[in-house]
Amino acid sequence: MAHAKQFYIDGVWVDPIEPRTLDVINPATEEVCATISIGGAADVDRAVKAAARAFDTWSQSSKDERLDVLERILAVYLRRIDDMAAAISTEMGAPLPMAKSDQAGIGAAHLSEMIRVLRAYEFDRVEGDMLITHEPVGVAGLITPWNWPMNQITCKVAPALAAGCTVVLKPSEVAPLSALLFSEIVDEAGLPPGVYNMVNGDGPGVGAALSTHPDVGIVSFTGSTRAGIAVAEAAARTVKRVHQELGGKSPNIVLPDADLKEAVRKGVQRCFGNSGQSCNAPTRLLVPAAKMDEAMAAAKEAADAIVVGAPDAPNTMLGPVVSDVQFDKIQALIQAGVDEGATLVAGGVGRPEGLTKGYYVRPTVFGRVRPEMTISREEIFGPVLSIIGYDSVEEAVKIANDTPYGLAAYIQAGEDLTEARRISRLLRAGNVNINGAPWRASAPFGGYKQSGNGREYSEYGLHDFLEIKAVLGYSEA
């Protein structure tokens, strides 16, 4: 990429104030695929000042002006969607078809949804002599992860711009190529200088500087719970708004009347999607204890059918995980499952047969997992599924809620949804899916407990970038 060693600030590509570089590793080959620059506090200050200057004008722009900008971004994005898919596949190992349809495709979906929402959104409401108006919070610091790069970038950038905020984006330094390409797309779309800015860097250098900067009005962060706590603590000093989408350990309850084999098959596939690197992955499969053997057999069949391989290979279903750090963490947790006495149903430690290079993980299933085991408690972020038995639906709900997280939950039921609907209200999670319902860009996304606060996507994401102002005496009563 022509601008890999630059940042996008005030409408132009600029060199870092202090030259520092970082190699980006292709996880499929373990080889360097790009070299980027790493910013620091001075680069952040430069970007925030540009965003603060631009805010004076952009915050007063009309809805039509913001719609025009989002439509231009979407048009360029769609034209370059193949480039985006290739960048994502290279930086984080997603199989090419999935990188285009899901990874890059979800970015287009969020942009399209925000355009739809903004067209219909009313920022002002008059009640008697009082005006209730929704105004942009200010400069938005956006900190995004590597696992679904375009999902998180577009579901933050689009509502921030729609609200009238200006933006400073810090993408993940592990998978930054898609963000560089997105910045090229924004540049081609022709936004006013300073409305959108991007600085590459790590959490301690750029993330912390964004979180503490006095001219940043809101920080929207997606990542680990540990890092989210650090962002919130840093932001508290300037009493800025903080929104967090953090970790998860999502349960998937198979009810007694469900088709067990089909429910398990779907549960395995959904858990292993994106190589298990999704914060809302259903990693705890809860089945009737009396059907544990049947569930393990179905899970083994499903896991053994998954093809792990190079992202550009024609039959690949799962690519590598993103880095050596992630690979080592997953291997240690798989070993912990073995050591703590869970039944290894499929997979295990080490790479899949025939793959000697790249951060490839064997699709792994454990059965007879007890709720207190490490693999049942910790977010693994890899293709590892734990099957847990329950004796009653009430016990299943208790096990499902026995976690510090609350991002998502899943229910597999038979044709009668009465019980599934009842249970959905008992699960402490921000998003509940019944019988594998398809993803929707209009569904609010966010968690309970240590999975974060605030909501993203659609109008719910727009709300998080808006302040509410009351003007009394605005009109005659």
**Alpha helices (runs of H) in 223-282, residue ranges in sequence order:** 225-236, 260-272
Determine which one of 91, 113, 173, 245 is catalytic: 245
Q: Which of 280, 269, 213, 327 is nearest to 452 (CA)?
A: 280
Query: In sequence order, which residues have a C-beta less than 8 Å from that of residue 442 and are 6 or more positions away?
Result: 113, 457, 458
3 state SS of 200:
coil
E strand or H helix at 437, and its extent? none
* Residue 279 annotated to the active site: yes
Neighbour-count burial for 301-327, b at 16+ CB within 10 Å, e otherwise = ebbeebebbbbeeeebbbbbbbbeebb
Q: How deeply is 416 buried, as exposed, middle or buried, from its count of CB atoms within 10 A (0-12, 13-18, 19+)? A: exposed
Determine which one of 91, 279, 379, 459 is catalytic: 279
Measure the CA–CA gap between 299 and 278, rounded to whole angstroms: 19
Measure the CA–CA gap between 83 and 104, rounded to whole angstroms: 9
* Residue 245 annotated to the active site: yes
Sign of CA dihedral 216, 221, 227, 230: positive
Measure the CA–CA gap between 58 and 65, rounded to whole angstroms: 9
- Residues marked as catalytic: 245, 279
